[in-house]
């Protein structure tokens, strides 16, 4: 399985750059400040300049921003996302998905054997490894579970594709996705995600 789960992390963290109120918690303010810096750098680069921007966020900061962002701008099919960041570009997500919405948007997505348990809003755990370089990001799903039930790779891939396509950005997870704001690289270490535009 490839190129799909990073969509969740990318549109939850880097991709959600709407204008939020100034009452944002500290981590959200840090993210919003980064988005402004990256937009400014992108504008300078378009006019021949080059402003180098780098970032570093802990998984605790990512989770605080995601709680705030999902509250400020609800996302179709997603109720919450919590991440744990590990070395070597390994990311674990715990996500509440609206399976009724997924099935409504694309009937037949949920395998028949899983329909009795995967309905309504349920939490799933998906681990994946990202590959982000040269302004593009791909990923591979390592494993996925609903409770103790292992979820089939084809199902997880299709579910993420459907939810990503329903976002305002219309993500297409079937091919490498551009990293927003001219970011060139994104990588992880223990409980930290980092990136840069140079």
Residue 179 near residue 137, CB atoms below 8 Å: yes
Evaluate whether residue 1 is within a structural domain.
no
Evaluate whether residue 198 is within a structural domain.
no
Evaluate whether residue 154 is within a structural domain.
yes
Residue written as tokens 């084809």? 154
The residue range of the domain holding 140 is 6-188
Q: From the centroid of its chain, how far is CA 196?
A: 17
pLDDT at 27: 95
Evaluate whether residue 197 is within a structural domain.
no
Instruction: Convert the pLDDT of each residue in 13-58 to its tens digit.
Output: 444 444 455 588 999 999 999 999 999 998 888 888 888 999 999 9
Residue 4 has pLDDT above 50, yes or no: no
**Residue 54: both structure tokens together:** 């780098």
CA atoms within 13 A on the CB side of 41: 19
Strand, helix or coil at 125?
Answer: strand
Evaluate whether residue 196 is within a structural domain.
no
Alpha-carbon distance 34 to 40, whole Å?
10
Would you give the DSSP letter of residue 142?
E
Instruction: Convert the pLDDT of each residue in 59-95 to its tens digit.
Output: 999 999 999 999 999 999 999 999 999 999 999 999 9
Evaluate whether residue 194 is within a structural domain.
no
Instruction: Convert the pLDDT of each residue in 162-178 to its tens digit.
Output: 999 999 888 888 889 88
Evaluate whether residue 85 is within a structural domain.
yes
Q: How many domains does the chain have?
A: 1
User: Whole-prediction pTM value?
Assistant: 0.84
């Amino acid at each position: 399985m490839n190129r799909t789960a990073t969509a969740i992390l990318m549109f939850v963290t880097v991709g959600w750059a709407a204008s939020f109120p100034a009452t944002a918690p500290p981590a959200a303010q840090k993210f919003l400040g980064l988005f402004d810096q990256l937009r400014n750098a992108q504008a300078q680069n378009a006019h021949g300049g080059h402003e180098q921007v780098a970032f570093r966020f802990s998984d605790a900061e990512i989770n605080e921003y995601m709680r705030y962002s999902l509250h400020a701008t609800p996302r179709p099919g997603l109720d919450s996302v919590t991440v744990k960041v590990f070395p070597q570009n390994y990311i674990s997500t715990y996500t509440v998905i609206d399976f009724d919405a997924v099935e409504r948007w694309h009937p037949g997505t949920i395998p028949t054997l899983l329909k009795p348990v995967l309905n309504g809003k349920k939490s799933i755990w998906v681990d994946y490894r990202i590959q982000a370089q040269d302004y593009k990001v791909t990923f591979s799903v390592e494993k996925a579970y609903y409770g103790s039930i292992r979820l089939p790779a084809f199902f997880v891939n299709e579910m993420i594709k459907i939810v990503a396509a329903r976002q305002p950005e219309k993500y297409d997870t079937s091919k490498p996705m551009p990293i927003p704001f001219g970011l060139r690289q994104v990588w992880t270490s223990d409980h930290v995600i980092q990136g840069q535009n140079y």
